[in-house]
A and B are shown apart, each in its own frame.
Chain A
Amino acid sequence: MSARANILQRLRAAPQGRVPLAPAVPAFYDAIRAATPASTRTARIELFCEKMAFWHGEVVRVTHDNWPQKLREICAAKGVRSLLYGEASAHAEALKAAGIAGLKPYDRPVGEWKKELFDDTDAGLTSTRGGIAETGTLIIWPDANEPRLMSLVPPIHFALLDADQLHDTLFDAMCAQRWSESMPTNALLVSGPSKTADIQVTLAYGAHGPKELVVLLLDNELSEVSEVNEVNAEEGP
């Protein structure tokens, strides 16, 4: 008999009491939600920013209009010479229009340019499917346009996150986005830059993956807030 048949046969031969009822996971999270104040968009944004900062991730508040300029400034400040992006991404046109130096599309299978990707690519820009406020987490689903290694190999990872796509918990995100119906080949949760505490429990960043994670938090309501602030400033003494 095959190993498979033997293993399954041993498992099936084991004494079985009554199978427990299916775990009520949604009810568990419903109870938590019922016991806590209703989550608001602002609260989710604040919590996300706080938690992401705790993980050593940088959050930059931007709008849908000004993010390419902000990104250009950050790249210049960090001395980024090459920025990897997905050519067919929704944000590609805006990115190209911003005049960022060293834009590099991920346009070939990795086997054809592995060395350049590892040794000569400073940063990568990816989109995200959303974020998780409770833990300060990005949800990234790599695909043919924005492959898996974009968020892993370059030393700096820039991620575009729409503030409207923030969920309270992982469970909420996975239900709202109906993950179980079609999982991609690779789905990722990312909370901060790569890190390790394997040497004497001392935290060090950039273990194997990015040393820096910069989240561009897209929030158009922010422009209204800042405009109001500017008006106030003008009215000041």
Chain B
Amino acid sequence: MNNSQQLNFVPASEFKQRASVAVADAHLRKSFRGAMDFLISKRAGQFPNPEALERQRSLAEHIRKYSLARLPELLEQLEHKLTDNGVQVHWAEDGEEACAIIVGIAQRHSTKLMVKGKSMVSEEVELNHAMAAAGIDALESDMGEYIVQLDGEKPSHIIMPAIHKTKEQIARLFADKVPGAGYTESVDELIGIGRAVLREKFMNAEVGLSGVNFAVAETGTLCLVENEGNGRMCTTVPDVHIAITGIEKVVEKLEHVPPLFGLLTRSATGQAITTYFNMISGPRKPGEKDGPGEMHLVLVDNGRTQAYGDEQLRSTLQCIRCGACMNHCPVYTRIGGHAYGTTYPGPIGEIISPHMLGLNATHVLPTASSLCGACGEVCPVRIPIPELLVRLREEAQHDARPGHAALRGQGAAKSRLVDAIWSGWAALYTRPALYRAFGWLATRFRALTPPMQGGWTVSRTPMKPAARTLHELMAARKKR
């Protein structure tokens, strides 16, 4: 295991500590509450007709399920088409392999600077650390990502990476870290500072990296969704463009894109469309005057085939990364994105991270939910997130179901104490005589109930048996 992966490895126990700290941070809670309320109302404004929304969701779910059902052949078709178009396609089983491929390409071009468009998969594989280890600057160019990178942080939201920061904090950060920048709290001026720095970088970078929102197999087209234009810069100005994506992003036909794209932007930020929809089908052709001379696509597995291997868990891969589930999650809104300690926070992170990092590291994440169901209700591709949370909780507590392959870290949350308590409970409730005896004892000796019971009762009234059992109360009532 290399350094970059170790950084991503967050012991399960620390989630609860980080969550407690976050919940106590009034400022953090206020920024998330405000931003999430804003995004929730913007999204709602885009879907005035609930029936029309359900029809769109049905179609989008159908497209994603259909694409996944045909995933291996669509990946081969995509590879074939892209190769014909002059794009080099690479496959990586895990993050380490993906980083090695990208570092290798960058080194072949003697790269000093790589500019990055927004890519959650590059965060997932910890590419920036691998590039730094190879002595190559990897600069985030999405404004939000640029801000968090400048402060040595990671994104706290997949669509709005710097949502946890106030403009005053960003003003201070720019004044401290950007050479020549003065202190200003004007958002326009702050963006202007970022623009000036980054345009210089776009000009000088040898390699540009981007993610992919949809990969179209029939035409060999990579689609990128963005508002800022940094994605277009990264994919157009440098001589080499490397795109990195998870294997699940492929769709068969171009006509499958509009329904997904329409739901993605409306669900994410409540926009009917983003400023740019960038469809790239190949490097610069002879005679063309710009665009990269060389283009690569890195297809990353990193645990996705584990989810794919189970018919229920496979629906995790329907995700189009809109972030609506986190915007609507009462837990995410209260603790923010960093508490999760994983690249993908919120409900989607709780169901996808166990496949990427194993249940050993992540088994507590599926429990960070009240199962209120909001995530499943807003998911534009109808991933049954609450059901998957329950399923993963179960997998963390038990051995694999018969006929099912064990997940990575299967049974990681198993506890002898919990098992013993459940066995005792089962024994008691299946033997009436024992049950009555227990009831009699529990009611007669209720004064001996320990006042500190831990768990649920830390912040709630501790349990205490009643003075008489229900059986006794009913019997007394009949006598009267």
Chain B residue contacts of A134, Cβ below 8 A: 272
Partner of B254, one of A111, A174, A193: A174
Docked-complex contact B143 and A196, CB < 8 angstroms: yes
Interface residues of B in 36-50 (CB under 8 A from A): 38-39
Docked-complex contact A198 and B195, CB < 8 angstroms: no
Q: In whole angstroms, what is the CA distance A114 to B253 when docked?
A: 36
Docked-complex contact B93 and A3, CB < 8 angstroms: yes
Q: In whole angstroms, what is the CA distance A22 to B273 when docked?
A: 25
Docked-complex contact B203 and A115, CB < 8 angstroms: yes
Contact with B along A189-226 (1 / 0, CB 8 A): 11111111111111010111110000000000000000
Q: In whole angstroms, what is the CA distance A81 to B31 when docked?
A: 43
Docked-complex contact A188 and B277, CB < 8 angstroms: yes
Docked-complex contact B274 and A8, CB < 8 angstroms: no
Chain B residue contacts of A200, Cβ below 8 A: 31, 35, 165-167, 187
Min C-beta distance of B28 to chain A, whole Å: 14
Q: In whole angstroms, what is the CA distance A115 to B203 when docked?
A: 7
**Stretch with Cβ within 8 A of B (4 or more), from A65-73, A178-186, A227-235:** A178-186
Min C-beta distance of A144 to chain B, whole Å: 4
B289 at the interface (CB under 8 A from A): yes
Min C-beta distance of A122 to chain B, whole Å: 14
- Known A7-B301, A25-B259; contact A198-B160, beta-carbon cutoff 8 A: yes
Q: How many residues of B contact A (CB 8 A)?
A: 96
Docked-complex contact B289 and A144, CB < 8 angstroms: yes
Which of A118, A183, A195 counts the most chain B CB atoms within 10 A? A183
A63 at the interface (CB under 8 A from B): no
Min C-beta distance of B162 to chain A, whole Å: 6
Chain A residue contacts of B190, Cβ below 8 A: 199, 204
Chain B residue contacts of A10, Cβ below 8 A: 301, 305, 308-309
Docked-complex contact A196 and B309, CB < 8 angstroms: no
**Stretch with Cβ within 8 A of B (4 or more), from A12-20, A37-45, A93-101, A158-166:** A12-20
Interface residues of B in 262-293 (CB under 8 A from A): 262, 269, 272-285, 287-291
Q: In whole angstroms, what is the CA distance A93 to B44 when docked?
A: 48
A110 at the interface (CB under 8 A from B): yes
Partner of B66, one of A15, A22, A189, A204: A22
Docked-complex contact B188 and A191, CB < 8 angstroms: no
Partner of A20, one of B62, B93, B284: B62
Q: Show 25 A/B contacts (Cβ-Cβ < 8 Å), sorted by A.
A: A7-B299, A10-B305, A11-B71, A14-B310, A15-B310, A20-B62, A21-B66, A22-B66, A25-B253, A28-B55, A114-B237, A147-B290, A183-B220, A183-B281, A185-B288, A185-B291, A187-B279, A191-B276, A194-B228, A196-B228, A197-B160, A198-B161, A201-B35, A207-B195, A209-B228
New contact pairs (16) apart from A11-B305, A183-B279, CB-CB < 8 Å: A3-B301, A7-B93, A25-B259, A26-B255, A106-B289, A107-B289, A111-B239, A143-B288, A169-B258, A171-B258, A185-B282, A190-B276, A193-B275, A194-B276, A204-B187, A209-B276
- Please give me the 6 A-B residue pairs with the lowest Cβ-Cβ distance, nearest first: A209-B229, A198-B144, A189-B277, A207-B228, A10-B305, A194-B229
